[in-house]
Amino acid sequence: MIKNALLFLISVATICLAQAGGAADSQKWSFESDSLEAERLALETRLDFDEHYSNLILQEQKSIEHHTKLGILSGSLLGFGGMMTVLYFNEVWDTDGQETLKEALGMEILLFSIGLTAVGAIGLTYNIYALFNKDGPYNRRDSYERAYDVYKRRRDAQGGPKLALVPTLDIEGSGAGLNAILLF
């Protein structure tokens, strides 16, 4: 009887430990596999990321060009709308009480030019802000260029043996040449 009770307790303990251990192992295993995969990819120095970095820098350069073009267009709208507002502001106010077709058209042009001025001001402000804020394309492009320089230096430092050509000058023998040096 004691033997059966002891066998029962051992089997229950084994089943409980197996269930608890299985759940812990599965969580630990997925975390370990993810971290091992991340370490393997991070330590992979044989892959060439030159094209990846050049694509990122080119994409940010296109974004800079796009915002610059929109800024120029918005500045043109601001200038044209401001000029039209100044020109038509004095012409549309008439104190005789009669509204002619010319005055009505002048008022419409004045309202349109005020709208152009507002759209131009908003567009110019937005595009200047979009270019130069902390997450703007100028800062991202500079960040990608710095990361690419770090990547190139790290890749060059981690490379295997390198052949370096060093110019030499022999003053005594009146000669010059190149020496090949193998760097490890």
Q: pLDDT tens-digit profile of 115-132?
A: 999 999 999 999 999 988
The Cα 3–Cα 123 span in angstroms is 86
Asked if pLDDT for residue 41 goes beyond 70, the answer is: no
pLDDT tens-place string over residues 45-103: 556 677 878 888 898 899 999 999 999 999 999 999 999 998 888 776 666 767 778 77
DSSP 77-107: HHHHHHHHHHHHHTTS--SSS---HHHHHHH
Confidence category of residue 42, pLDDT binned at 50, 70, 90:
very low
Amino acid 172: pLDDT? 77
- The answer to whether 85 and 112 have CB atoms below 8 angstroms apart is no
Q: Where are the domains of the chain?
A: 48-169+176-183
Contacts of 81 (CB under 8 A, 6+ apart): 113, 114, 115, 116, 117, 118, 119, 120
d(CA 77, CA 123): 9
pTM: 0.56
pLDDT in tens, 150-170: 877 777 776 666 677 778 877
**Residue 3 has which token pair?**
């033997």
Q: What average pLDDT does the structure give for the chain?
A: 75
Helix axes 101-132, 137-158, angle to 10 degrees: 20
CA angle 52, 54, 56 (to 5 degrees): 70
Predicted confidence at residue 50, as pLDDT, reads 76
